[in-house]
Amino acid sequence: MAYSPIVMDHFKNPRNVGEILDADGLGEVGNPVCGDMMSVYIKVENNIIQDVKFKTFGCGAAIAVSSMITELAKGKTLEEAMQIKNSDVAKALGGLPPNKLHCSNLGADALHSAIKNYLDRKAGKIVPQEEGEEHHPEKGGACYCPYCEKQVVEESPFCIFCGKEMPHDHDH
């Protein structure tokens, strides 16, 4: 597992946990089927993220990522915040174990989704509450090699048709 000390610190003492009742933007991504789910609330003034809070259902990495993304976003302009990439979050946390990198996607996605929600509201668009984003659509429940697209057995170490190593995917 081996989480970095920064990850453990943010997991054990998460910053900015909670909700903002009169939030200007709300972003929700993930779903419990995939193992994690995150809600980000932002308060915007003069194009700057004045306050940001989160709620997360997820593993240690997901909670640490949520905490870190709120720290990175606070005080930034919306443009700057939109530039925060998933890799920035992982880097700020001192790295994540390879099979936990998808958790860092959740953080940036949730923040960006909250900003878009704010911009849409400002533009007067009525935004329906989005369903949690499906990270891993299934093709009829079977697994397919991403290189040669032949159907492979679950959890194959490599594709027996083309020989390519199978990436360590989240959930097929």
Partner 1 sequence: MGFIYLDHQSGTPLHPKVQEAMIQHIQTIFGNPSSDHQVGQPAAVVLEKARAQTAALINANPPEIVFTSGGTEANNQAIKGVAIGLREKGRHIITSNIEHKSVLNSLRTLRLLDYRVTSLDVDQYGLVDPGAVEKAITPETILISIMLANNEIGTIEPIAKIAEIAKKHKIVMHTDAVAATGNIPVDVQELGVNLLSLAANQFYGPSGVGALYIRKGTPVWPLLDGGTQENKRRAGTENLIGIVGLGQAAELAKEAIPARQARLRALKERLEQGIKARIPEIHINGHPTLNLPHLLSVSVEYIEGESLMLMLDDEGIVVATRSACASGSLRASHVLIGTGMDFATAQGTLVFTLGEENTDAEIDRVLEVMPGIVQTLRDMSPLYKKSGH
Question: Distance (Å, rounded) from C-alpha 75 to C-alpha 139?
Answer: 42
Contact, 29 vs 115, CB < 8 A? Answer: no
Contact, 119 vs 27, CB < 8 A? Answer: no
Q: Please provide residue 49's backbone torsions phi and psi, each rounded to the nearest 5 degrees.
A: -75, 105
Regarding 154 and contact with partner 1 (CB under 8 A), the answer is yes
Distances (CA, A) of 3 to 29, 35, 62, 104: 23, 18, 12, 13
Using the rule CB under 8 A, give the single segment among 71-79, 81-89, 118-126, 162-170 that binds partner 1. Answer: 162-170
Regarding 55 and contact with partner 1 (CB under 8 A), the answer is yes
Among 4, 6, 60, 133, contact with partner 1 (rule: CB under 8 A): 60
- Give the residue with the Cβ less far from partner 1, 21 or 123: 21
Regarding 99 and contact with partner 1 (CB under 8 A), the answer is yes
Regarding 162 and contact with partner 1 (CB under 8 A), the answer is no
143 an active-site residue? no
Q: What share of the chain is helix, strand, coil (3-state, %, to 5)?
A: 35, 20, 45
Contact, 150 vs 141, CB < 8 A? Answer: no
Q: What is the closest distance, in whole angstroms, from the C-beta atom of residue 23 to partner 1 in the complex? A: 13
Among 23, 42, 49, 63, contact with partner 1 (rule: CB under 8 A): 63
Sign of the dihedral through C-alpha 100, 103, 105, 108: negative
Regarding 14 and contact with partner 1 (CB under 8 A), the answer is yes
148 an active-site residue? no
* Interface positions with partner 1 (CB under 8 A): 1, 11-12, 14, 17, 19, 28, 32-39, 55-63, 99-100, 102-103, 153-155, 160, 168-172
Which residues are marked as active site?
A: 34, 103
